[in-house]
C-alpha cells in the first residue's frame, strides 16, 4: 500500500478549516503547537486575545483540543506573531477549561518547536528566544547541538506568596490549610503527606479526585487578584507537594481531572516562592523538581523582586522537550462532530 510522504501529503479539499500542528512533550507533558494562518484571534495584546478566547469564542479550543482531534491529556498552544517588539514569538496555552496566561512546560515545547523546525534560526551552542504570553515576556535559552535543543532554560516571572496556611473547608475532610502562591498563575499548594500521598503513579486517580475538590473550594473561598495583571484573579490549580531530601516533587491537578505529567513549571515557580518565604530555600541553590512519572526540571531562585506591595522571587527552570509528530488537522462541514466533543469517562463529570 502506497503512503505519501509528509511533504507530498495535502490537506483534504473538503475541509472548511485546517491547521498545522507539531506535537511535542516536555518531560512527559504533551504540548501541541498550532502554527500557520488558519486562525485569527482579535486583540491588540496577548491578554486581549486570551479574553476573546475565554469569553467570546471557544471554537479554536474545541477544534484543537477536544475529541476526535485531541484529548484531555494535552495542551494546545496557539502560536502568534508577537505584539511587543522585544519578543520573537507569542503563544497562548489552551487547556480543556480554556486559555491560560502562561505554562512553563509549554514554553519549553514552543521554544523547541520554533528552533528545531526552523521557524526561528538556531544558533549553537545557545539560542535565546523571547516569548510573549498574556502574563508577560518570558526569556528562554535553548542549549543546541547538531540541530537539536538539548534543553531549554526559562527565566520565569516574579513569583510571590499570597497566603501561608490559609484555612480551607473541604467536603469530607473538614478544615485543611493550604499555601496560595503565584508562579505565572495562582496555585493552592497542599502537603501531600497530610493525606497519605507520595505523588507516585498508582495514586494518580485518588490525587485527581481530592485535588478537584481542593481546587474548586479554593476558587470559591480564596479570592485573589494579581496586583499588576488585570484578569488574573482565580486559583487555577491544586498542587500536591512532597519532598525528596533537598529536592521536591509536585503533583498538579489539571481540569477536567488529570495529573500534569511534568513537574509543572509555573507550579514549581510558585512552590519555590513558598519555600523561600518559609526559609526552606535560599537564592543560588539549584534543586530538582520532580513529577509523578519521575521526570524533572532543574529549578533555582536567582533573585528578588517586588510585585505591587508583595515581596517576590525570580526563578529559573531548565527542562527538556521532544517533537514526536507533525500533522494537519481539519474540519469537514459534513462531519457531525466537527466542533468536537468530550465524554465524562475521560473528561470528568462536568464534561
What are the residue numbers of the active site? 103
Contact call for residues 299 and 246 (beta carbons, < 8 A): no
CA-derived radius of gyration, the chain: 20
Q: How many CB atoms lie within 10 A of CB 83?
A: 15
Q: Which three cell numbers stand for residue 53?
A: 478566547
Q: Which residue has 486559583 as its cell numbers? A: 235
Q: Which three cell numbers stand for residue 198?
A: 507520595
Beta bridge partners of 287: 299
Separation of alpha carbons 252 and 248, rounded Å: 13
Q: Which three cell numbers stand for residue 2?
A: 502506497
**3-class secondary structure, 346:** helix
Separation of alpha carbons 33 and 311, rounded Å: 34
Q: Which three cell numbers stand for residue 219?
A: 476558587
Q: Which three cell numbers stand for residue 68?
A: 476526535
Contact call for residues 217 and 210 (beta carbons, < 8 A): no
Contact call for residues 152 and 103 (beta carbons, < 8 A): no
Amino acid at each position: 500500500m502506497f503512503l505519501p510522504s509528509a511533504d507530498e501529503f495535502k490537506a483534504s479539499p473538503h475541509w472548511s478549516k485546517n491547521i498545522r500542528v507539531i506535537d511535542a512533550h516536555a518531560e512527559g507533558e504533551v504540548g501541541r503547537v498550532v502554527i500557520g494562518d488558519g486562525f485569527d484571534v482579535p486583540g491588540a495584546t496577548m491578554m486581549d486575545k486570551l479574553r476573546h478566547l475565554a469569553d467570546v469564542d471557544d471554537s479554536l479550543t474545541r477544534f484543537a483540543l477536544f475529541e476526535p482531534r485531541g484529548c484531555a491529556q494535552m495542551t494546545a498552544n496557539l502560536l502568534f506573531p508577537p505584539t511587543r517588539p522585544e519578543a520573537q514569538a507569542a503563544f497562548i496555552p489552551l487547556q480543556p477549561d480554556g486559555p491560560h496566561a502562561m505554562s512553563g512546560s509549554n514554553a519549553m515545547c514552543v521554544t523547541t518547536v520554533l528552533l528545531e523546525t526552523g521557524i526561528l534560526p538556531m544558533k549553537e551552542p545557545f539560542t535565546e528566544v523571547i516569548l510573549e504570553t498574556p502574563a508577560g515576556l518570558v526569556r528562554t535559552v535553548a542549549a543546541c547541538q547538531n540541530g537539536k535543543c538539548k534543553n531549554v532554560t526559562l527565566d520565569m516571572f516574579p513569583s510571590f506568596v499570597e497566603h501561608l496556611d490559609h484555612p480551607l473547608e473541604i467536603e469530607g475532610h473538614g478544615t485543611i490549610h493550604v499555601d496560595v502562591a503565584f508562579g505565572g498563575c495562582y496555585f493552592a499548594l497542599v502537603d501531600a503527606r497530610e493525606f497519605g500521598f507520595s505523588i507516585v503513579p498508582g495514586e494518580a486517580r485518588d490525587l485527581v479526585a481530592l485535588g478537584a475538590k481542593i481546587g474548586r473550594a479554593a476558587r470559591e473561598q480564596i479570592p485573589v487578584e494579581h496586583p499588576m495583571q488585570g484578569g488574573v484573579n482565580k486559583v487555577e490549580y491544586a498542587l500536591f507537594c512532597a519532598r525528596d531530601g533537598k529536592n521536591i516533587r509536585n503533583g498538579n491537578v489539571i481540569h477536567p481531572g488529570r495529573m500534569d505529567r511534568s513537574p509543572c513549571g509555573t507550579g514549581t515557580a510558585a512552590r519555590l516562592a513558598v519555600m523561600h518565604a518559609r526559609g526552606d530555600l535560599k537564592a543560588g541553590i539549584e534543586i530538582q523538581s520532580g513529577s509523578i512519572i519521575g521526570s524533572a526540571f532543574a529549578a533555582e531562585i536567582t533573585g528578588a523582586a517586588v510585585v505591587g506591595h508583595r515581596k517576590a522571587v525570580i526563578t529559573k527552570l531548565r527542562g527538556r522537550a521532544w517533537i514526536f509528530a507533525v500533522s494537519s488537522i481539519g474540519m469537514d462541514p459534513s462531519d457531525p462532530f466537527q466542533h468536537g466533543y468530550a465524554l465524562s469517562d475521560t473528561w470528568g463529570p462536568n464534561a
